[in-house]
Amino acid sequence: MAFNDTSASEEKQSPRSSVRAWCTIGSISFVIALLASVAVWYLFLRGGNNDEEREAFDRIMSLKSEGDTDLFAQSLNEYLDTYNSDAYHFSQLKALGDRFFTEQADWNDARERMTVTSMRHFLASHPEGFFHVAANKMLDSISFSDALRLNEKAAFQAYLNQFVQGTYRNEAEQRIAEIEKLELSDNEKTEATHVLASFFNLFCKEKIDAVQDSCANDTSVSSYASLLFADSIPMNLEELNTDKKMLDCRFAEASVQKVDTLGMVCYQLYFTLEREFEESPSSVADTSSVVVDDAEKDAHAWVKTERHDGAALLSDSMKIISVSIK
């Protein structure tokens, strides 16, 4: 019977225990809700729900993506001046700013040096940095400027190889084409020298008709020849041999190059011409412009040799446009 009374007593107390349990659960839930509210309020105070702070953050990140470093730096400085360490994005933007301004100092140094080496060093140090787009553009520009300064086919080709989508690709290709157009082959050099040598040989033999046949009819660029030597005069086929009988006329040396003259490819020759001629004994005394052999007193003292610097311009068909003698 005592056992049954105890069970009945416990059954009568169970409703009270249930109430106590529910009170405990309610207290815990209240504490959790309170803590959550405090956390939310803390986040609000930090700016997590601050529309202006969020908009400023979004603008800064957008400018970073666009690569507008000037506006990015301006907006970043404005943010750091406006908000303190309690702002939601402050720590993130503060770290971003430290990295940006460090890189900016390196960029200013590389830009001041303005060399291929300085740009490559900067890009190696900051491959995906804030200024990598600007640095690549600057490297492109400096590399092409160096190629222009050298003005060599290999230099322009090196630029094209490095900058497949380079800003100056079309101009580099055009420069290569122009250089190739003026490249002189060994055969062209030999032919141009032969044409001019034949011209003087025919002149020496007084074959004027043959001399005229070797000359170009088109004299549209003949005025250019006057620039080859400032103090030269054009050869006069009738007057050059007036008082002297020409014995021989030969090149002592000659150089040949291709030139673009008024849009037409020509062959420009600089040469030293030796003329051997007979002169009467009475005129031997006048040697102001004559190189006289040491054997002046021997039997052949009347044979004289003159050396002249000269220049000639040949057309692309190897016809003589102009010959000037200094």
CA–CA–CA angle 98, 103, 106 (5° rounding): 135
Q: What is the CATH number of the domain that holds 197?
A: 3.10.450
Tokens standing for 50? Answer: 């601050």
Question: What is the per-residue pLDDT across 175-184, written as a single tens digit (0 to 9) for each?
Answer: 999 999 999 9
The pLDDT of residue 323 is 84
Q: Is residue 266 part of a domain?
A: yes
141 and 192 in a common domain: no
The string of DSSP codes covering 255-322 is: EEEEEEETTEEEEEEEEEEEEEEE--GGGTT--TT-B--GGGGSTTTTEEEEEEEEEEEE-TTS-EEE
196 and 175 in a common domain: no
Local confidence band at 107 (pLDDT 50, 70, 90 cut-offs): very high
**Domain extent for 262:** 186-325
Q: Is residue 204 part of a domain?
A: yes
Question: What is the per-residue pLDDT across 29-64, written as a single tens digit (0 to 9) for each?
Answer: 655 665 655 555 555 544 444 788 999 999 989 988
The pLDDT of residue 249 is 72
Local confidence band at 20 (pLDDT 50, 70, 90 cut-offs): low
pLDDT greater than 50 at residue 116 = yes
User: What is the tally of structural domains in the chain?
Assistant: 2
Q: Which of 181, 210, 241 is the last residue of a domain?
A: 181
190 and 176 in a common domain: no
159 and 195 in a common domain: no
pLDDT greater at residue 15 or residue 288: 15
Q: Indicate the average pLDDT of the chain.
A: 77
- 97 near 80, Cβ under 8 Å? yes
Q: Which of 138, 156, 181 is the last residue of a domain?
A: 181
H or E element in which residue 245 lies: strand 245-261
The pLDDT of residue 225 is 40
pLDDT greater than 70 at residue 21 = no
190 and 118 in a common domain: no
Q: Is residue 91 part of a domain?
A: yes
What value does the mean pLDDT take over residues 193-214? 80
Question: What is the per-residue pLDDT across 207-263, written as a single tens digit (0 to 9) for each?
Answer: 777 777 888 875 443 444 444 444 444 455 444 444 456 667 777 778 999 998 888
314 and 244 in a common domain: yes
200 and 173 in a common domain: no
Q: Which of 119, 153, 181 is the last residue of a domain?
A: 181
